[in-house]
Amino acid sequence: MRRAVSALALVLLVSACDNPSDMPGSPQVGSQTNWLLACDTSGECGGLQCICGTCSAVCDDDTACAQLPDAACVGGREAGAAALCSGQTPPVGICLPRCEEACPEGTSCVAGVCEPSSDGMVTVTVDTAERHQTLVGFGASLAYAEDAIVAHPQKEVFFDLVFAESGFDVLRLRNRHDSGDEAEVLAPAEIIEAASMRLGRTPLLFMTSGTPPAELKANGARQCAGDLETCTLVSLPGVGFDYGGFASFWRDSLEAYAGAGVFPDYVSIQNNPNWVPGADNLNEGCRFLPEEGSVTVEIGGAPVEVAYPGYREALDAVQAAIVDLPGPPPRFGAVEANGLAHVGDYVAALDAGNFDALAVHVYDMDPSEVDVAQLAAVRELGEQLGRPVLQTEMQAEGLETAVLVHHALTSGGAVAYLQNDLVALREAQASIALVLLNEDGFTAQPPYYALSQYAKHTDPGWIRIGASSDSSRLLASGWLAPDEGALTLVLVNPEADALVTELVLPEGVRERLLRTEVAGTVFGGTDRSAAPGELSSSGVVRVPGRAVVTIALATP
C-alpha cells in the first residue's frame, strides 16, 4: 500500500506521508524524474518531498513551482489539494499540474489536478437504459426518543441536521397509543411537522408496534425476558387468542394518531413476530407464528409444546376492524421478521392481497460477507408478488451501514432503508445511531454520514439504474431522477486501499448534466464529510479506503 493515513485522520482520499510545513519551499535540481511519483517517504522523491503520497514540493505561489513542468501552486483550500490529501486542508500550497482532462502518463485528473494513478484503475460503467426499482427513501426509527427530541433546547437545529441537511425522508414510528393519553401521539406529530417543513413534503411514515398493551399479553406485561410460554397474545376462555382485542387496539391507535394529524403510509402490526427477548434482555415482544398453532420450545432444558396465535389471523382481524376508518387507509407491510430467513415462512401463510409491501430486517447479514443470494431471494419474492421491499430496521456502524445499504438496494431490490435508531440517548449506543443526543447538544455519528451519502442527492421517485464496477473491491449503485435532469452515483470502498475510479457515462450525459459535485466520508479516526469539488472532465475520482463517495450530476 503506497499511501498511509496521517495523524490528522481527516476525510477523503489519501493522507500526507510527511508534514509539508517542515519542508523546503522549492524543488531541487534533478528532481523532475521523480515528479508526481507515488511515495511513502521523501527519500523516494530524489530531492522533492513526499506530500500526501505524491512526490512534489510545497509552495506559496507559482514561482516556487517554476522548475517543475506545467506545475502551478495549488492552494491548500482548493479542491485539488483536498483531493490529494484525503479531504484535509494542507497548511501550505502544493506544486501540481492543473488539468481539465489530460495529465502526464501515470497520473490522472482528479478534482482539477494531476495526481498519481494507483495500480489497476477501476471502471464503473453507467447504463441509464437499465431500470430497476423506484426509490421510496432513507431514514430511521424514532424508537423511544420522541419525548427527548421535542424537549431538547436545540431541537430546531437538530431538525435542520436530520432533514434539511441530510435529506432523510422516511420516519418509522412506534405505536405509543396504550393508555389512551393523547399526549402520547403529540411528540411524533411535532417531529413529523418539523420534517415536512424542511423537506417541503411529508416524510413517508411507517408505523410498527413492539408489543400490544399489557392487558392483551399472556404475561400481563409489555416487556418480556425469556418467557417463551407467555410472551404472546392473551387467550380468553372459550374464545381463544384475543384477536378482537388486538384489532381494537390498532383501530383505537390509528384514530388517536389521525386526531393529531398523523396518518401512517404503512402499518406493521407486530415488530419481530418470530422473536422472544432472552432472559437477560428485558424488551418489548409478542410472538406470533405465521398462522395459529403450536411449536416445541426448550424451557428449563426440557422441550415444551407451546400454542401461539397466528400472524395471518391477527392481520385479518386488524384489517377488518379498520375497514371503515375515516381518512386515508394505511397500507400494510409484512412481516418485519427478525432476519430474512423467516420472511418466506410468514409470507407463505398470507393472502398476497392482504399486504402491500415486504417489510424486512437484515439482522442476519454479516457486512464483511454479505449473503447476496438471500437478499436476491427476497427481491425475487417481492417481484413475484408485485410488492416493494422495505428494509425497515437495522443496527450497524458507519462503514457497515454503507455496505448493507448498497446490498439491500442492489441485490435485495429494496426501495427504502431505515436505520433502527435516529437518536441514541446513551454513549454506549451512539455507534449504531444516526445522532447522539445529550442534554446540551447533539453529534452526528458515523451511520449518519453513511446513510446521508445516499439520501442527500436522491429523492422519492428516483429510479435505480445500471452501475457496474469491474472490480469486486468497489461497490457501485446509480440513481436517476424521473425527469432525467439529475443522476447520482454512490461508490463504497470497504477495503483499506484507495481506488482510482473512472466513470463511463452514456453518451451525452456529461454534456447535459453540467453541474457536478463529489463528496464523501472516510470511516476511521474522525468520521466526517468533505467535498473535494466538481467531477473532472475525465470522469476520474479517487475513492479512499474504507469510504463512501457520492458523485451527483444535474442540469445547471
The reply to whether 205 and 84 lie within a common domain is no
For position 180, what pLDDT does the model report?
66
Are 239 and 337 part of one and the same domain? yes
pLDDT value at residue 1: 36
Supply the pTM of this predicted model: 0.86
In this structure, are 448 and 495 located in the same domain?
A: no
Does residue 418 share a domain with residue 287?
yes
Q: What is the CATH number of the domain that holds 246?
A: 3.20.20.80
- Residue 484 and residue 521 in one domain: yes
CA–CA gap between residue 217 and residue 235 (Å, rounded): 8
**Does a structural domain hold residue 11?**
no
- Kindly state whether residues 251 and 388 are assigned to the same domain: yes
How far, in Å, CA of 102 to CA of 536, rounded?
A: 10
Are 273 and 344 members of one domain? yes
Nearest CA to 233 among 280, 292, 179, 176? 292
Q: Please, how many CA atoms are within 13 Å of residue 367, restricted to the half-sphere of its CB?
A: 19
Do 32 and 139 share a domain, yes or no? no
Q: Which of 460, 479, 512 is the last residue of a domain?
A: 460
pLDDT on residue 179: 65
CA distance 35 to 47: 10
Q: Which helix (H) or strand (E) holds 55?
A: strand 54-56
- Residues 6 or more apart whose Cβ sits within 8 Å of residue 179: none
Cα(162)–Cα(148) distance, integer angstroms: 15
Structurally, how many domains does the chain consist of? Answer: 3
* Cα torsion 543, 544, 550, 556: sign: negative
The three grid cell numbers given for residue 253, joined into one nine-digit string = 391507535
Encode the chain (556 residues) as per-residue pLDDT tens digits. Answer: 333 333 233 233 333 344 444 444 456 545 677 888 888 788 888 889 998 888 999 999 999 999 998 899 999 888 788 778 766 678 889 999 998 777 888 788 887 888 887 666 899 999 999 999 999 999 999 999 999 999 999 999 999 999 999 999 999 999 999 866 777 899 999 999 999 999 999 999 999 999 999 999 999 999 999 999 999 999 999 999 999 999 999 999 999 999 999 999 999 999 999 999 999 999 999 999 999 999 999 988 899 999 999 999 999 999 999 999 988 899 999 999 999 999 999 999 999 899 999 999 999 899 999 999 999 999 999 999 999 999 999 999 999 999 999 999 999 999 999 999 999 999 999 999 999 999 989 999 999 999 999 999 999 999 999 999 999 999 999 999 999 999 999 999 999 888 889 999 999 999 999 999 999 898 975 556 655 678 888 898 888 889 999 999 999 9
Q: Please report whether residue 2 resides in a domain.
A: no
Contacts of 405 (CB under 8 A, 6+ apart): 138, 417, 450, 451, 454
The reply to whether 255 and 201 lie within a common domain is: yes
In a domain, 8, yes or no: no
What per-residue confidence (pLDDT) applies to 17?
47
The verdict on 407 and 335 lying in the same domain is: yes
Confidence at residue 13, expressed as pLDDT on a 0 to 100 scale: 30
* Closest C-alpha among 170, 187, 185 to residue 135: 170
DSSP 41: S
Position 6 in a domain: no
516 and 495 within one domain: yes
Picking from 59, 63, 68, the residue whose alpha carbon sits closest to that of residue 37 is 68
Domain that holds residue 67: 20-116
| CB 422 within 8 Å of CB 434 | yes
Please report the pLDDT score of residue 103 as a whole number.
Answer: 85
Residue 502: which CATH number? 2.60.40.1180
Query: Does residue 504 form part of some domain?
Result: yes
Tell me, what's the pLDDT at 398? 96
353 and 403 in a single domain? The answer is yes
State the distance between the two ends of the chain, measured CA to CA, in whole angstroms.
39
The last residue of a domain, from among 416, 431, 460:
460
Q: Is 212 contained in some domain? A: yes
**What is the sign of the dihedral through the CA atoms of 112, 114, 117 and 123?**
positive
SS3 per residue for 328-393? CCCEEEEECCCCHHHHHHHHHCCCHHHCCEEEEECCCCCCCCCCHHHHHHHHHHHHHHCCCEEEEE
Rounded-to-10 torsion of CA 95, 101, 104, 107: 80
Q: Is residue 15 part of a domain?
A: no
- Is 508 within a domain? yes
Domain boundary among 59, 85, 116: 116
